[in-house]
Amino acid sequence: MRERKDALVLLLAGGVGSRLNILVNHRAKPAVPFGGLYRIIDFSLSNVMNSGLNRVGVLTQYKPLSLMRHVESGQAWDFTGRTRGVKILPPRTGEKDSDWYKGTADAIRQNIDFIRANPCEEVVILSGDHIYQMDFDAMIAYHRHKNAGLTIGMMVVSKEEIKQFGAGIVDDNNRIIDWEEKPKEPRTNLASMGIYVFDTKYLLNALSRDRKEIDFGMHIVPRAIEEKQVFAYPFYGYWRDVGTIQSYWETNMDIMREGSGISPEEWGIRPNTEADGRPMDRSAARFVKGCKVESAMISAGCRIEGTVINSVLSPGVIVKKGAVVRDSVILEDCVIGEDAQVDLVVCDKRVSIGQGAVVGVGEGKDVANREYPTHLYTGITLLGKGATVAPSMIIGRNCILQPGYGETDLKELADGETV
């Protein structure tokens, strides 16, 4: 028999996500489009829905309007009804002893009243910016079976990667006996996924004690290990943090790679097709005679006259005759002009690439972007929302065109440059 589903979900969706560069100029990281039809937050919300949990608080902060319009009432994920619902929880700026969320624990602390207004045995805390499938109901059942004060979703990663995560040292029963936050010299390869199930009473008690404890990994988890039984909940499936341009591109490419482990349709991930008043459930994609498509994801409303290879196209993308799109992620309503060449590009919404233009050209994949060398360094070129690439313009590797760019006199942009 399944456990009762009376847990409250708090979804952290306020991060800046600055390593996604111009993709987060106008939107929060969880609102970034992904995989053709989706936004990143759709994965967490769909996991909650598919786990049978009904009450969700979405904690927003950075540029939240696009995210708020996308989530709306939660109807797209069946979060409507007398016992169901999604509530947007912004920071309480302007109130006494209150400010912008200072960390994950501080964000939850500022919403203690929401927890108390929704009585529950457990609080499930998630991030809204990861790509994965997980049954939280099974995790709650595990948490109760272990009689835990806190259970943390954890997975094995490489010793190189674990330096970016919280790391748990466990005993033979999966009880966490020690904790390292972003260890320089790790003693384990078991990494925190940022997914927590708390006993509600313990969580409220922990948050009420010290307002300087602002982060779960740095402050709350180490104390909990000393005070309560804290267990690791092992996870073995596909999970990616798409917090960089590189990981964002790779995870999109994984959708088309056989055996990668990611399958949004099979996972039951649900988008909001009516968000922003721009329905995404458009007419069927059109493939004009003479076009060529290989290993690509083509969304509704697209028109393909040219060639698309190993690329993800969001709704409404037009690839005109003679154009070639390869190894790229093209967001909603972009137009690739006749005979244009697009190679290894992440292209935000409503970009226009002129006839004969070449975007992503040459052998300069090792020439990192000069302004953002840690963001673009493998050859990916990034085109901002609403930018225009002039006909016959040539753009190299690791370049950035800022949102709204429309210069027509510039004919060439060298590797690693930003305009």
CATH code, 205: 3.90.550.10
Of the ranges 80-84, 160-164, 168-172, 318-322, which one carries the lowest mean pLDDT score?
Answer: 80-84
Residue 100: what pLDDT? Answer: 73
**Same-domain check for residues 214 and 297:** no
Over residues 211-235, the mean pLDDT reads 89
- For 343-365, letters b (16+ CB in 10 Å) and e give bbbbbbbbbbbbebbbbbbeebb
Over residues 166-184, the mean pLDDT reads 93
Which run of H or E residues covers position 179?
A: strand 176-181
Residue 4: what pLDDT? Answer: 45
Residue 318: what pLDDT? Answer: 98
Residue 3 clears pLDDT 50, i.e. is over it: no
Last residue of some domain: 254, 273, 291? 254
**Same-domain check for residues 354 and 247:** no
Beta bridge partners of 8: 55, 123
- At 348, the pLDDT band (50, 70, 90 cuts) reads very high
List C-alpha distances in Å: 317 to 49, 192, 314, 322: 30, 38, 6, 15
φ, ψ at 151 (rounded to 5°): -125, 135
- For 48-57, letters b (16+ CB in 10 Å) and e give bbbbebbbbb
**Which residue from 112, 89, 110 is spatially nearest to 11, judged by alpha carbons?**
89
Beta bridge partners of 413: 395
Strands (E), 263-330: 286-287, 292-294, 297-298, 303-304, 307-309, 312-313, 318-319, 324-326, 329-330
Single-letter residue type at 372: Y
**Same-domain check for residues 314 and 189:** no
What predicted TM-score, i.e. pTM, was given to this entire model? 0.93
Of the ranges 15-19, 25-29, 62-66, 143-147, which one carries the lowest mean pLDDT score?
Answer: 15-19
Residue 210: what pLDDT? Answer: 72
Over residues 113-117, the mean pLDDT reads 94
In a domain, 278, yes or no: no
Instruction: Return the percentage of the chain with pLDDT > 70, whole number.
Output: 95
Instruction: Return the percentage of the chain with pLDDT > 90, whole number.
Output: 74
**Same-domain check for residues 322 and 178:** no
**Same-domain check for residues 340 and 384:** yes
Residue 12: what pLDDT? Answer: 93
Burial (0-12, 13-18, 19+ Cβ within 10 Å), 313: buried
Of the ranges 83-92, 166-175, 227-236, 390-399, which one carries the lowest mean pLDDT score?
Answer: 83-92
Q: Specify the higher pLDDT residue, 95 or 345.
A: 345
Which run of H or E residues covers position 379?
A: none
Residue 280 clears pLDDT 80, i.e. is over it: no
Residue 260 structure tokens: 């990668």
In a domain, 276, yes or no: no
Over residues 104-112, the mean pLDDT reads 90
Of the ranges 86-100, 338-352, 405-419, which one carries the lowest mean pLDDT score?
Answer: 86-100
In a domain, 265, yes or no: no
Residue 2: what pLDDT? Answer: 43
Residue 401 clears pLDDT 90, i.e. is over it: yes
Looking at every residue in the chain, the average pLDDT score rounds to 91
**Same-domain check for residues 208 and 299:** no
Total structural domains within the chain: 2
**Same-domain check for residues 200 and 339:** no
In a domain, 315, yes or no: yes
**Same-domain check for residues 331 and 245:** no
Residue 18 clears pLDDT 80, i.e. is over it: yes
3-class DSSP state of 276 = helix
Helix and strand numbers (H, E) in the chain are 9, 32
Q: What is the CATH number of the domain that holds 348?
A: 2.160.10.10
Are 306 and 341 in contact by the 8 Å Cβ rule? The answer is no
**Same-domain check for residues 153 and 245:** yes
Which residues are within 8 A (CB) of 281 and not within 5 positions of it... i.e. 6 or more apart? 273, 300
Over residues 365-380, the mean pLDDT reads 96
Residue 417: what pLDDT? Answer: 97
Over residues 118-127, the mean pLDDT reads 94
- The C-alpha torsion from 115 through 116 and 122 to 128, rounded to 10°, is 0
Beta bridge partners of 33: 39
Over residues 155-179, the mean pLDDT reads 92
Over residues 378-386, the mean pLDDT reads 97
Which residues are within 8 A (CB) of 406 and not within 5 positions of it... i.e. 6 or more apart? 387, 388
In a domain, 260, yes or no: no
- Residue span of the structural domain in which 141 resides: 8-254
In the DSSP assignment, the letter for residue 411 is -
**Same-domain check for residues 166 and 18:** yes
Residue 54 clears pLDDT 70, i.e. is over it: yes
Residue 229 clears pLDDT 50, i.e. is over it: yes
Q: Specify the higher pLDDT residue, 412 or 208.
A: 412
If you write DSSP's letter for every residue of 59-74 in order, what string do you get? E--SS-HHHHHHHTTS
The span from the CA of 408 to the CA of 66, in Å, is: 30
Over residues 169-178, the mean pLDDT reads 95
**Same-domain check for residues 235 and 300:** no
**Same-domain check for residues 65 and 203:** yes
In a domain, 264, yes or no: no
Residue 279: what pLDDT? Answer: 59
The span from the CA of 235 to the CA of 357, in Å, is: 45
In a domain, 83, yes or no: yes
Residue 277: what pLDDT? Answer: 56
In a domain, 268, yes or no: no
**Which residue from 370, 345, 342, 343 is spatially nearest to 356, judged by alpha carbons?**
342
